[in-house]
């Protein structure tokens, strides 16, 4: 009898552990404390965040903030599924390509009423980001940091070729002339990287050529214009002349890797890459504004803090967001050298984070910043876009045809937006 009992108990025990594993609660209260869940993907900001949360806890000792870092690859899937299950983090990182879908479906909270209530001045944030995170003129995310695109260069290669470093007078023509002098086929060095990538590559060039990617009213694509074509023709020309790694080479070995190992002399990239590139190249690294085409332009993207549309702790979450994106929080972020804070006037710490690099270039280029192009179904049309662009770069079809296809498909996708 005793034996039987113990077997039964063992089995029951097994069940309860299984069941206990099933019912994990996401947001709730533990020991009388309110728990706020925060989610983001980049562990490089961990120290900054810990300090900022300490700051928040000074005024909110009764709130426990739990931070979860999910790698970029899983972040959006995990976020979306957890929000679908009516749980999910209370406060989390939002980026441009996903913003419209989240705002228009009400998965993130309209912050405007809260902003009005607390009389928060949003003009302290970089305009491009306030634009990016506004939906129907309401702010849905409080800007945290931004990244602009600049032209990184390898000083050693310039010195060897006896060419002065790039500056704000450079244009597409100067790039092409000097790329030819910097290219050294024997040692496998390319003068410039004409990127197949969008944010640091053709998005900037399109705007520099006077074109655009999506119209301001988000209703039509700008891809089928002669300006856009001229941007791609220029990139293609550089590849054909062997002044830039070909598209195939870029898909195989990341241009950042090539630049980091001294195989590319000039490389357009976002400001967030500065610490990584500095680690690879040290004092050989220099940075200049992007060269001008018909005009100057740089794509600005950045992240904001958004709030779960169904959070149970709206007040606490809102206070936390205000601290994270507040002046002190932004200063902490800047000091860590992670990226340019979105709060105007707090850049000081960031500018000093790599003394040998003139990071002021990025802050200055905000004057001609263009917000990263987004709409509700960004992911869908960007997929069409990147496939067609890659096809064209790989020589499977001419750019004229690819751009026409992108514009057609993108217009069709845009026409279905705003209907759910």
3 touches other proteins by CB under 8 A: no
Q: Say which residue the tokens 């490089």 belong to.
A: 44
Give residues 40-99 in contact with other proteins (rule: CB under 8 A).
77, 80-81, 83-84
3-state secondary structure at position 371: strand
Q: Which of 252, 282, 355, 367 binds other proteins (CB under 8 A)?
A: 252
Residue 8 CB, shortest distance to other proteins, in Å, is 8
Q: Say which residue the tokens 């728990």 belong to.
A: 35
Per-residue contact flags (x/-) with other proteins for residues 9 to 28, judged by CB under 8 A: --x--xx--x----------
The Cα–Cα gap between 411 and 59 comes to 49
The Cα–Cα gap between 298 and 367 comes to 9
Q: Which is nearer to other proteins, 84 or 415 (CB)?
A: 84
The Cα–Cα gap between 282 and 273 comes to 13
Q: Say which residue the tokens 């479906």 belong to.
A: 105
Give residues 282-301 in contact with other proteins (rule: CB under 8 A).
none
Residue 307 CB, shortest distance to other proteins, in Å, is 17
Q: Which is nearer to other proteins, 182 or 384 (CB)?
A: 384
**Nearest C-alpha neighbor of 154 from the set 250, 290, 287, 291:** 287
Q: Which is nearer to other proteins, 82 or 339 (CB)?
A: 82
Please, which residues have CB within 8 angstroms of residue 142's CB and are 6 or more apart in sequence?
Answer: 111, 122, 125, 133, 304, 305, 321, 322, 324, 325
CA angle 291, 293, 294 (to 5 degrees): 140
Give residues 144-203 in contact with other proteins (rule: CB under 8 A).
188
Candidate segments 32-40, 171-179, 376-384, 404-412, binder of other proteins by CB under 8 A: 376-384
Q: Which is nearer to other proteins, 113 or 188 (CB)?
A: 188
DSSP line for 264-304: EEEEEEEGGGHHHHHHHHGGGEEEEPPPBSSS--EEEEEEE
Q: Which of 92, 93, 100, 107 binds other proteins (CB under 8 A)?
A: 107
Inter-residue contact 363 to 347 (CB < 8 Å): yes
The Cα–Cα gap between 139 and 130 comes to 7
CA angle 127, 128, 132 (to 5 degrees): 115
Per-residue contact flags (x/-) with other proteins for residues 380 to 419, judged by CB under 8 A: x--x--xx--xx--x-x-----------------------
Residue 325 CB, shortest distance to other proteins, in Å, is 26
Q: Which is nearer to other proteins, 98 or 296 (CB)?
A: 98
Inter-residue contact 178 to 242 (CB < 8 Å): no
Residue 176 CB, shortest distance to other proteins, in Å, is 24
Q: Which is nearer to other proteins, 112 or 249 (CB)?
A: 249
Q: In the chain, count H helices and then E strands.
A: 19, 14
Candidate segments 111-119, 299-307, 351-359, 379-387, binder of other proteins by CB under 8 A: 379-387
Candidate segments 221-229, 246-254, 280-288, 333-341, binder of other proteins by CB under 8 A: 246-254
- Look up residue 195 and give its two tokens: 């990127």
- Look up residue 67 and give its two tokens: 């931070």
39 touches other proteins by CB under 8 A: no
**Nearest C-alpha neighbor of 367 from the set 148, 139, 121:** 148
249 touches other proteins by CB under 8 A: yes
Question: Which residues would be at the binding site for other proteins (CB under 8 A)?
Answer: 11, 14-15, 18, 77, 80-81, 83-84, 105, 107, 188, 248-249, 251-253, 379-380, 383, 386-387, 390-391, 394, 396, 420
């Amino acid at each position: 009898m005793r034996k039987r009992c113990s077997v039964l108990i063992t089995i029951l025990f097994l069940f309860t552990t299984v069941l206990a594993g099933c019912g994990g609660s996401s947001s709730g209260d533990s020991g009388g404390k309110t728990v706020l869940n925060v989610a983001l993907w980049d562990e490089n900001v961990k120290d900054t965040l810990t300090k900022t949360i300490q700051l928040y806890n000074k005024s909110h000792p009764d709130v426990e903030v739990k931070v979860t870092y999910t790698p970029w690859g899983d972040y959006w899937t995990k976020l979306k599924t957890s929000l679908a299950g009516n749980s999910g983090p209370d406060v989390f990182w939002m980026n441009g390509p996903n913003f419209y879908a989240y705002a228009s479906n009400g998965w993130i909270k309209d912050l405007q009423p809260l902003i009005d209530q607390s009389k928060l001045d949003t003009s302290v944030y970089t305009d491009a980001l306030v634009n990016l995170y506004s939906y129907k003129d309401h702010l849905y995310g409080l800007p945290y940091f931004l990244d602009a695109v600049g032209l990184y260069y390898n000083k050693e290669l310039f010195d060897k070729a006896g060419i002065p470093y790039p500056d704000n007078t450079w244009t597409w023509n100067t790039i092409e002339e000097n790329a030819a002098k910097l290219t050294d086929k024997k040692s496998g060095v390319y003068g410039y990287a004409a990127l197949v990538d969008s944010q640091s590559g053709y998005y900037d060039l399109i705007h520099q050529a006077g074109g655009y990617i999506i119209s301001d009213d988000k209703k039509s694509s700008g891809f089928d214009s002669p300006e856009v074509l001229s941007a791609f023709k220029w990139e293609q020309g550089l590849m054909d002349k062997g002044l830039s790694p070909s598209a195939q080479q870029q898909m195989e070995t990341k241009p950042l890797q090539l630049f980091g190992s001294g195989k590319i002399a000039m490389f357009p990239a976002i400001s967030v890459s500065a610490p990584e590139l500095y680690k690879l190249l040290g004092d050989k690294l220099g940075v200049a504004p992007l060269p001008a085409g018909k005009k100057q332009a740089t794509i600005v993207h950045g992240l904001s803090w958004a709030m779960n549309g169904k959070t149970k702790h709206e007040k606490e979450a809102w206070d936390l967001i205000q601290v994270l994106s507040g002046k002190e929080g932004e200063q902490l972020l800047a000091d860590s050298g992670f990226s340019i804070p979105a709060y105007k006037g707090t850049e000081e710490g960031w500018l000093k984070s790599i003394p040998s690099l003139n990071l002021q270039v990025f802050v200055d280029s905000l004057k001609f910043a263009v917000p990263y192009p987004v709409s509700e179904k960004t992911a869908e049309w960007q997929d069409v876009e990147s496939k067609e662009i890659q096809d064209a770069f790989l020589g499977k079809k001419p750019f004229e045809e690819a751009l026409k296809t992108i514009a057609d498909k993108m217009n069709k996708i845009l026409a279905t937006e705003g209907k759910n």
